[in-house]
Structure 1
Amino acid sequence: MIGHIFPFYRFSVFVWIVLFFGTCTNYSTTSSVQAPPTLISITNNGNSNFTIKVRAQNPELIFQGYRLYEAPSEALAQNPNDLNQGAQCLLAQTAIVQPIEYTFEVDPSSNANTAGVSCRIFATLTPGNHISFRTLGLAVDLANSTSSYRVSPPSNTLIVP
C-alpha cells in the first residue's frame, strides 16, 4: 500500500539497508575467547563423589558452561590431546554469568543435584590424578550453518584427593 502512495519508498528502504550494512565495519571474523575459570578446592565426599569449588567470570552471551579434564599429570590435564574429550556441564540457562563461585558435583551416578550445587558432572575421578577446567563458548559458522563449542585456555589444576 505504501509502495503505491510513495513509489520510491521501497527503493529508499533498499538503499538504506545497503548503506547501513555496506558501511558497517564494526564486526569481527575471529572467535571470542572465554576466560578460564579458577579452581579453588576439591573435596572427596565418598562413593566416587567429589565437590569442586570454582570461581569464574564469563559475561559473554556465547558462554555455555564448562568442561572438566582429568589426567595423570598437570601438563596433560591442562593440555589434553583432544579438547572435545572430557566431561561437561552446560549452564546455558544462565546467558550472562557475572563473577561468581560455582559448586560442581562430580559423580558417575545419575542422582539429582545436591542443594547448592550449580551443576553435576557425570564422571569418575581417580585419586592422585590432576583436574583442569575450560570454559565453553558457542562458536557459530555462518558460512556452513554449523555450530560447535570453542574452549578457553586451561584453568589451574588440582590433585584429586
Structure 2
Amino acid sequence: MEEKTPRRTKQNMIGPNFSFYRLAFPFFFVLLLGACTNYSTTASVQAPPTLISITNNGNSNFTIKVRAQNPELIFQGYRLFEAPTEALAQNPSDLNQGAQCLLAQTAIVQPIEYTFEVDPSQNANTAGVSCRIFATLTPGNHISLRTLGLAVNLSNNTSSYRVSPPSNTLIVP
C-alpha cells in the first residue's frame, strides 16, 4: 500500500505564521510602552461628599448625615469647613484650615450614608457614628465638607493631603 503525504490544509498553513505573531507581539508591545511618554503626574482628585442633614443634639454637639463614594486607595477622610456664608464655607481662604476626620482604618470607602458627630469634647464615638470631628459649630453659619486624599511626591519624598472640590452646604441649626 502506498503511503500518502498529508494534504496541506488551511490550518496547517496558518500554524507557523500564527506562532511567529504570538511571539512577536509581546516584543512589539514592550517597544511601544517604552516609547510612550503620555502619562500623568497629577494627583488624583477625590469626589466630594454630599451633605444630607445636620441635627443639633444639644451641648454644642451636632450629627451630620453624609453620602459619599470614595473607592480610591488614597482616600483618607474628610475636612469640615464653617463660615458665615455659603461661598466662604465652600471656598475657604486656606484649605489646610478646618476640622479633620481621618478614617485611616478604612482603606476603601464604598457608596454609603455616613453619620458624623461634630463635638468639641474628646469623648469617644457614639454608637453608629462613623467619625467624630472635634470642633465647635456656630448656629446660623454654613458648613461644607471636602474629601481628603493622600498625595505623595516621589521626587522629594513628601506627602500631603489633597482636598476634593467642596460639597454642598448646610446651615447649622
Q: Distance in 1 between matches of 2:113 and 2:145?
A: 14
Say if 2:152 is the partner of 1:140: yes
Gaps of 5+ in 1: 1-17
Equivalent residue letter for 2:126: T
> Following the alignment from structure 2 to structure 1, what is the Cα–Cα distance between the partners of residues 112 and 51?
12
Q: Distance in 2 between matches of 1:23 and 1:92?
A: 38
Q: Tell me the percent identity.
A: 92
Matched, 1:150 2:170: no
Q: Structure 1 residue 20: deviation in Å?
A: 10
Q: Map of 1:8-157 to 2, 5 A cutoff?
A: 22=34, 27-157=39-169
Q: Which amino acid aligns with 1:64?
A: Q
Q: Which amino acid aligns with 1:124?
A: T
Alpha-carbon offset, residue 31 of structure 1: 1.0
Q: Given the superposition, is the C-alpha separation of residues 119 and 20 from structure 1 closer, same or farther in structure 2, using an over 3 Å criterion? A: farther
- Per the normalisation by structure 2, the TM-score is 0.79
Q: Which amino acid aligns with 1:159?
A: I
Between Structure 1 and Structure 2, how many residues are aligned? 144
- State the partner residue of 1:6: none
Residues 19 and 53 of structure 1: is their aligned pair in 2 closer, same or farther, counting only changes over 3 Å? same
Aligned counterpart, 1:160 = 172
* RMSD over equivalenced CA pairs, Å: 1.7
Q: Structure 1: how far apart are the matches of 2:92 and 2:153?
A: 24
Q: Which runs of 5+ in 2 are unaligned?
A: 1-29
- Tell me how far 1:93 sits from its aligned partner: 1.0
Q: What is the distance in 2 between the residues matched to 1:26 and 1:100?
A: 35
SS in 2 for 1:149: strand
- The separation in 1 between residues aligned to 2:90 and 2:58, in whole angstroms, is 25
